[in-house]
């Protein structure tokens, strides 16, 4: 609503009705509507360049002409008199406009886009969204001044686990550029395949690019393969083509060459690079292996040769070296590794990893490049000029920024697009987690823990598409969209301009554009079936709706109901009976595409009576107890002998817990201010359980990535025993509990929580 109000206040036209608000993504910095007739777009528009000798500007002129004619009337309205409408592209010296910013002004006969070449390109992407599909091709009189919040706005794609054609890589880059993302992080090597041609080492692709088969689904124990050989790679000609293609769209391609871990594909080709004799085979399963590069001079010579060819192919300032998930078992047992530790005066294998990374960084710096690595490169000491990509939450990014290093935020719990977008039982197989588009949009790249000076080290954010269970271009698109649109807005739009409700209002228009492009985006869920629901009464009114204006809702109920199935038109009432009723629904788009199936049980509930407790014996907040132990379920968190115990204002981690292998217990009382059904959402990484009055309300237990589950309970007015159990096994961590109040999800109010004095 704030965004809508700002745009309405900015409109200064004399007509009593402002123009329809544009559904622009990402939302610009400033939009001001102007009085006067619209600009008439179409094939008859004259494109004028401020410097007709500039090759790049001429290319942008061709793009502008294509945008004006695509999807609009091919000719100007019949009978038009006066000067022909003109689109001006004006190069800016950089004195007044941000290097990637632009100014777009549209009036009756002139539409101008001013900025650097990149800025003009982004202005044309905004123009593309301002033009109505099909229709008159009219752009209302408007002035837009815009620039990105962050210099790094990235999308990643893993091609090691599954390979994708060159044409799709170009399409992926096109889609990034359309939404003003400027970096493509290309994950080219891993245990499951080496995907880049290195001429000095041909076995990297003749051997390392091929695996004998792929693990079937998630069958790891016992292992079961699909029996199908899999592989392929990009030639150096392919890569040069893709890099040039991206450059024309102002997208930088950053290659990732994994080291010192995730190296089995390279070791299969050249086993002498390992600390053990091998032989090695390109991995057919997922996960982490103990076989990594040995820190020998032979290995460093090999990697320098590889990176020399990589730098010749990729002009990007940054080279990504991975650096994540490096088991030290082989180094602990290797005479070569131990000799390096002694020779260099290192304390342990963690410092040996730092030494390894520092040597590679020195080589890159000598060639005027800079190193990026995942946040594990902090272990043992960070290389002097390295940039950290923080994926295990934001803690690594905070630590690096506080040390004066640049940071790119890419936390798994919010920006891993290989996670599920809906209930696992109705979604394509994914690696785990739960990251709907709303969760992506809610991520703030600059943590509150950073000072203003430290915050300047946050270059931006990136979302990652890992492809263990993503096997086709269509599935990549399904996992990336519409979440990529949320990423585009959180990296471009100023924080104070972001508005989740307004973003969701603008999203349908963008989905229509994706429809026209043939993008296989995930269709949003039917609204009204967000989870099972308890009802105080014998019947329930079922209210469903479509978040896409022209989509219809198909629904079905349990057999025997008078509303068994059909096309939803208006809310209807249905009796609950003894076992309740299940409602199932999905969207159908005008092009007949079907959305995901959603269902919810509606059950009759009785109010749980309050606990018998003297409120005078209670204090505000909860009791927090912290336990250090190897746990596999939250239900294993002990109720005795904590390492630490104290008071907490709410359900959240303190930040003082160790990185892995711990559990916490929050206990006390929840005050229900009125009789009613209370709905909760518990998101955890790893597992968690919410219990109220001794009843399990949300069971989100077991080892997994960030995953949200919901549950509800009917409570009578008063105090009820309350407990949240959480455990952290390994990797990322996260704990968030929310309650639904007046249709809005938020933290449990502090005045609802009490503990024993």
Phi and psi angles of residue 517, each rounded to the nearest 5 degrees, phi first: -85, -5
Q: Are 695 and 667 in contact (CB under 8 A)?
A: no
Burial of 28 (0-12, 13-18, 19+ CB in 10 A): buried
Is there a catalytic annotation at residue 538? no
- Would you call 284 helix, strand, or coil by DSSP? coil
Please indicate whether residue 325 is annotated as part of the active site: yes
Q: In this structure, are strands 581-588 and 598-604 parallel, antiparallel, or unpaired? A: antiparallel
DSSP 260: S
Task: Find residue 32's DSSP bridge partners.
Answer: 143
- Angle formed at CA 433 by CA 427 and CA 434, multiple of 5 degrees: 65
- Write the CA distances from 160 to 164, 192, 318, 469, integer angstroms: 10, 6, 20, 12
Instruction: Give the CA distances from residue 201 to residues 232, 256, 276, 630, in Å, rounded to whole numbers and listed in that order.
Output: 16, 17, 20, 44
Marked catalytic residue, from 185, 262, 405, 627: 262
Smallest Cα–Cα separation from 191: which of 270, 269, 283? 283
Burial status of residue 721 (CB atoms within 10 A of its CB: 0-12, 13-18, 19 or more): middle
- Parallel, antiparallel, or unpaired for β 744-746 and 46-49? unpaired
Close Cβ partners of 167 (under 8 Å, ≥ 6 residues apart): none
325, 351, 512, 532: which is the annotated catalytic residue? 325
Which listed residue (40, 158, 190, 468) is catalytic? 190
- In Å, what is the CA distance from 440 to each residue of 421, 473, 481, 520? 11, 22, 11, 19
CA neighbours closer than 13 Å in the CB half-sphere of residue 514: 27
- Bridge-based pairing of strands 687-692 and 718-728 is antiparallel
Whether 187 sits among the annotated catalytic residues: the reply is no
Catalytic residues: 190, 262, 325
């Amino acid at each position: 609503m704030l965004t809508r109000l700002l745009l309405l206040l900015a409109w200064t036209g004399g007509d009593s009705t402002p123009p329809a608000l544009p559904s622009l993504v990402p939302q610009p910095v400033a939009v001001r509507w102007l009085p006067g007739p619209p600009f008439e777009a179409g094939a008859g528009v004259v494109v004028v360049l401020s410097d007709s000798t500039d090759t790049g500007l001429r290319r942008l002129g061709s793009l502008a002409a294509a945008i004006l004619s695509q999807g609009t009337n091919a000719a100007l309205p019949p009978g038009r008199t006066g000067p022909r409408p003109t689109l001006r592209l004006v190069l800016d010296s950089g004195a007044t406009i941000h290097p990637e910013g632009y100014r777009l002004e549209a009036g009756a006969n002139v539409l101008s886009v001013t900025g650097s070449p990149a800025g003009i390109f982004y202005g044309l992407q905004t123009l593309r969204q301002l033009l109505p599909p099909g229709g008159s091709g009219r752009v209302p009189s408007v002035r837009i001044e815009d620039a990105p919040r962050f210099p790094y706005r990235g999308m990643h794609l893993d091609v090691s686990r599954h390979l994708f054609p060159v044409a799709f890589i170009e399409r992926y880059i096109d889609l990034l550029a359309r939404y003003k993302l400027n970096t493509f992080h290309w994950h080219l090597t891993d245990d499951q395949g080496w995907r880049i041609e290195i001429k000095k080492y041909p076995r990297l692709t003749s051997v390392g690019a091929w695996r004998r088969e792929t693990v079937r689904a998630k069958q790891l124990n016992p292992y079961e393969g699909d029996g199908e050989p899999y592989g392929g790679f990009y030639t150096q000609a392919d890569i040069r083509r893709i890099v040039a293609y991206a450059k024309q769209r102002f997208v930088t391609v950053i290659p990732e060459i994994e080291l010192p871990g995730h190296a089995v594909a390279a070791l299969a080709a050249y086993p002498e690079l390992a600390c053990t004799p091998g032989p090695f085979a390109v991995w057919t399963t997922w996960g982490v292996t103990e076989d990594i590069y040995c820190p020998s001079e032979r290995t460093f010579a090999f990697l320098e040769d590889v990176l020399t060819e990589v730098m010749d192919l990729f002009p990007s300032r940054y080279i990504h070296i991975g650096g994540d998930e490096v088991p030290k078992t082989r180094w602990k047992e290797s005479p070569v590794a131990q000799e390096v530790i002694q020779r260099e005066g290192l304390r342990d294998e963690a410092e040996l990893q730092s030494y390894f990374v520092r040597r590679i960084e020195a080589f890159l710096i000598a060639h005027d490049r800079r190193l990026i690595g995942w946040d594990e490169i902090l272990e043992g000491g960070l290389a002097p000029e390295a940039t950290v990509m923080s994926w295990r939450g934001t803690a690594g990014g905070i630590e690096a920024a506080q040390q004066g290093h640049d940071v790119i935020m890419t936390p798994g719990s919010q920006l891993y697009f290989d996670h599920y977008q809906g209930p696992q039982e109705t979604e394509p197989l994914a690696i785990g987690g739960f990251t709907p588009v709303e969760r992506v949009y809610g991520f703030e790249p600059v943590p509150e823990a950073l000072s203003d000076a430290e915050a300047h080290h946050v270059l931006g954010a990136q979302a990652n598409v890992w492809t263990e269970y993503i096997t086709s271009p269509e599935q990549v698109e399904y996992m990336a969209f519409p979440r990529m649109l949320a990423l585009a807005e959180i990296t471009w739009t100023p924080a104070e301009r972001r508005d989740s409700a307004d973003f969701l209002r603008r999203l349908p228009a963008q989905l229509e554009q994706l429809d026209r492009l043939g993008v296989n985006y995930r269709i949003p869920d039917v609204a009204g079936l967000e989870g099972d629901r308890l009802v105080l009464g014998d019947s329930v009114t079922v209210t469903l709706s479509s978040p896409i204006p022209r989509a219809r809702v198909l629904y079905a109920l349990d057999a025997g109901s008078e509303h068994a199935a059909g096309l939803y038109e208006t809310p209807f009432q249905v009796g609950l009976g003894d076992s309740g009723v299940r409602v199932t629904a999905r969207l159908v788009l005008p092009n007949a595409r079907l959305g995901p199936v959603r269902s919810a049980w509606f059950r009759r509930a009785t109010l749980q009576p309050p606990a018998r407790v003297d409120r005078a014996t209670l204090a505000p907040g909860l009791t927090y107890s912290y336990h250090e132990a190897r746990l596999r379920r939250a239900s294993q968190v002990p109720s005795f002998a904590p390492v630490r115990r104290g008071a907490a204002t709410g359900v959240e981690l303190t930040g003082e817990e160790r990185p892995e292998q711990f559990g916490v217990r929050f206990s006390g009382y929840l005050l229900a201010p009125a009789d009613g059904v209370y709905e909760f959402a518990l998101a955890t990484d790893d597992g968690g359980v919410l219990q109220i009055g001794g009843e399990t309300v949300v069971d989100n237990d077991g080892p997994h990535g960030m995953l949200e589950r919901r549950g509800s309970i009917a409570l009578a007015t008063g105090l009820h025993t309350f407990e949240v159990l959480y455990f952290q096994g390994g990797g990322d961590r996260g704990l968030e509990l929310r309650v639904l109040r007046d249709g809005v999800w938020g933290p449990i109010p502090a005045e609802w929580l009490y503990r024993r004095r």
